[in-house]
Chains A and B, each alone.
Chain A
């Protein structure tokens, strides 16, 4: 696994191991922030940044601090601290430079800390035994895959606001049915791209 070509890791991250539709990581933001395209795009940007940074920093911490000192059992705790610190950083930057985006993201920006997509990317890197470059590539690819699905989902939901559906389906069930159709399309990448 560790000898995988960078391109196949990249495609894996975006399509075959798509975080939202195949692995079910980061679903809270998937149903929570996809009511309009603008906040979905902002959220995705923040997630891509945090994910790439987290993959880089946590790889370094794991390889250069935890492994030499034989403290691999602390991996989970140190990763979550790294992610929390990165999210604080992103929050400062967004609040200072793009206040309108900051308001529309609301509670979801601090919640990236508990967004399983970011920690999931870090843990999957560790499990697969990727080296430094591979970890960073996988982190970025996973972020891009997240972005693509968030944009598709928010585009569809924005246009289907005025669709006349039974009131029991309006809201979350409708979001899940849209996700169902997107997911069906993504499952087929299993067969299209040989792993």
Chain B
């Protein structure tokens, strides 16, 4: 078990969205633009890494019968911290993400990693696992956010910089409305499934 492969596993095989299919609500709700996607992923990453490390360092002390309530309290503490920091230092992002920042507390990715990984591994590997899973989450959110923002508004503007500007504005407003989220994730998941099947047919 080497740290690098543990890190990459969080992006590929155990990718939160396409591998484990966890944490769908924020994946669909906040991906109206790349900027929101990055903000959401950063908040989630902080909570995930911190809770993974704390759960892992307390894993010998936590009695297994009451571990889930304890995990939830640990996660809720870190979410409260993120909530207050974001409200104080980046109010516009906080307003855009709205109720989804406090809702990180019920994000299945975090409690899933605490239960499946941090509870069984040491602090260092839990830290790596937290980083890898967060990176996987960030990449997926940015991909979905990018597709939706590009097709919906014709350009991608992130923190004041125009990254992409299409010569023809498609302006498919539906893409930044709720249906666009379902369309994008459905299509991406179908592509991932297709690739998996092709690989299975080839390699068995």
Contacts and interface: CB of A to CB of B under 8 A. Distances in A.
A160 interface: no
A62 B194 CA distance: 49
A183 B178 contact: yes
Given A114-B111, A173-B187, A176-B189, A77 B24 contact: no
A174 B183 CA distance: 10
Interface of B: 21-22, 24-26, 28-29, 69, 72-73, 76-77, 79-80, 83-84, 98-99, 102-103, 105-108, 111, 174, 177-179, 181-183, 185-187, 189-191, 193-194, 197
A169 B185 CA distance: 12
Contacts of B76: 76-77, 80
A167 B195 CA distance: 12
Contacts of A67: none
A7 B160 CA distance: 41
Question: Interface on chain A toward B: helix, strand, loop, or mixed SS?
Answer: helix
Contacts of B26: 24
Question: Interface on chain B toward A: helix, strand, loop, or mixed SS?
Answer: helix
Interface of A: 21-28, 31, 73-74, 76-77, 80-81, 84, 113-116, 119-120, 123-124, 127, 167-169, 171-177, 179-180, 183-184, 186-187
24 contacts: A22-B178, A24-B181, A25-B25, A27-B24, A73-B84, A76-B102, A76-B105, A80-B72, A80-B105, A81-B69, A84-B72, A119-B105, A119-B106, A123-B99, A168-B190, A171-B193, A172-B186, A173-B186, A176-B186, A177-B182, A177-B183, A184-B179, A187-B177, A187-B179
Contacts of A175: 186
A115 B191 CA distance: 28
B86 to A, nearest CB: 13
B178 A27 contact: no
Contacts of A31: 21, 24
B106 A80 contact: yes
A24 B25 contact: yes
B108 A28 contact: yes
Contacts of B191: 168
A172 B84 contact: no
A115 B106 contact: yes
Top 4 closest pairs, chain A to chain B, by CB: A176-B186, A24-B29, A180-B182, A168-B194
Contact of B28 (A27, A120, A172, A187): A27
